[in-house]
Amino acid sequence: MEKTLTITPGMAGETKRNITQVINDYSKRLMGFIRKRVTNEADAEDVLQDVFYQFVGNTQPIEQMSAWLFTVARNKITDRQRKRKPEALEDIFRDEEGEESINWSELLFDATNNPEREYLRTLFWEELNSALDELPAEQRDVFIKHELEGVPFKELSEQTGETVNTLISRKRYAVLHLRERLSVLKDELLNY
C-alpha cells in the first residue's frame, strides 16, 4: 500500500522533499502514458506539467498516488482534446510547419475576372466536390454545413440530435480525408 501524502502549512521542507520524490518516481512512467495519447511532444510535456501542478496544489490526502496521478493525466488529456479547435478549410492546405503556402481564401473567393484564377477556382471546386462525394454522408454533411455554410456546431447539434463532440469528430475525419485527397492538387499548383 502506498503512503498517504498530506501537505500541511508547517511542513515546507519535508513537503518539498516529498513532492520532489513523487515527481522523480512518476515522471518517466507518466510521460510514457501521456505520449501514447497526445499528438506531439510539446502537448505531452504540457499535460505532464499540468498533472504535477495539480498535484502540488492538492490539499487533500492521496491514498493511492499512482492511481491518482494517472487519473489526473487521463483527465487532462481529455480536457485538452475537448478544447482543441476544430480544423477549418484553410487548414487543409497548410504545410508541415503550419504555414499557408497559398492564400486559398483569396484565390477561391476572389471576384475578379482573371482567367487563370477562374480556372484554378473551377479546378479546386471540382476536386473538392469529388473528394466530398467519397466521404460518408455524415462526415460530408457536417463539413459542408459547418465549413461552407457557416452553421455553428451547436446549431447542427440541435438539428441532428448528435453531440457537438460527435460532429467535431466527423468534421475532423472529413478534413483529414480532404487534406490527403487534395494534396495532389496542391502539389501540382505549387510546382506549376
pLDDT confidence tier of residue 30, bands split at 50, 70 and 90? very high
pLDDT in tens, 36-60: 888 788 888 989 999 988 888 888 8
Beta-bridged to residue 100, according to DSSP, are 94
Alpha helices, DSSP H only, in the chain? Answer: 12-35, 41-57, 65-83, 104-109, 115-133, 137-143, 153-160, 164-190
Domain co-membership, 69 together with 93: no
Q: Is residue 138 part of a domain?
A: yes
Identify whether residues 183 and 107 lie together within a single domain.
Answer: yes
Residue 137's CATH number: 1.10.10.10
Q: 32 near 72, Cβ under 8 Å?
A: no
The whole domain housing 63 covers 12-83
What grid cell was written down for 164?
Answer: 457537438
- The yes-or-no verdict on residue 7 having pLDDT over 60 is no
Share of the chain above pLDDT 70, in %: 70
Q: Does some domain include residue 59?
A: yes
pTM of the prediction? 0.45
